[in-house]
Amino acid sequence: MTLALAEAEAAFARGEVPIGAVVVLDGEVIGRGGNRTRELNDPTAHAEILAIRAATNAKASERIPGADLYVTLEPCPMCAAAISFARIRRLYFGASDPKGGAVENGVRFYQSPTCHHSPDVYSGFAETESAAMLRTFFRERR
């Protein structure tokens, strides 16, 4: 989660919403990313999506069972579904996102019958730091 926080800090420095993600397989980082939606003009360039795409590319497979994903904020429906499609084993996230989350909030995708693979979910890691960074970012933008 320390690496995910570093990715979030780097996103902040680039003027992007500060969220970071890391994918780990067998103790090795195989993908990492921070938000780049503005830089790339790409609404899908969330931290999790970039980290997953890097990881599946590194493993030359669209599925990476056994891999774990660490992300500083609760995933949105787009990222929650991508995590499912990639067959991520465990999801560790930081702050909860009542406004946009899709794991413990909103549509709770992993509890839907249309979800065909659910990761084990662990939340609250580095929650304070993750949430503080987001608050600072949005306060500065106002």
Q: Which of 70, 92, 93, 109 binds a second copy (CB under 8 A)?
A: 109
Residue 28: both structure tokens together: 């090795």
Residue with tokens 């993908």: 31
Q: Which 3 state secondary structure label does DSSP give 3?
A: helix
Q: Which of 33, 101, 130, 134 binds a second copy (CB under 8 A)?
A: 101
Binding-site residues for Zn(2+): 46, 76, 79
Q: Which of 53, 67, 71, 125 binds a second copy (CB under 8 A)?
A: 53
Site track 2-21 with a second copy (rule: CB under 8 A), x = hit: --------------------
Q: Contact region for a second copy (CB under 8 A) — 6-14, 24-32, 112-120, 123-131?
A: 112-120
Q: Is 102 one of the binding residues for a second copy (CB under 8 A)?
A: yes
CB crowding 10-33: b at 16 or more within 10 Å, else e: bbbeeebbbbbbbbbbeeeebbbb
Q: Cite the DSSP H helix spans in the chain.
A: 2-13, 47-58, 77-85, 127-141
- For 98, half-sphere exposure in the C-beta direction (CA atoms, 13 angstrom radius) is 0
Has 39 been annotated as catalytic? Answer: no
Q: Is 37 one of the binding residues for a second copy (CB under 8 A)?
A: yes
CA distance 75 to 91: 9
User: Active-site residues: which are they?
Assistant: 48
The site for a second copy (CB under 8 A) is made up of: 37-38, 40-45, 49, 52-53, 56-57, 59-63, 76-82, 85-86, 98-102, 105-109, 112-114, 116
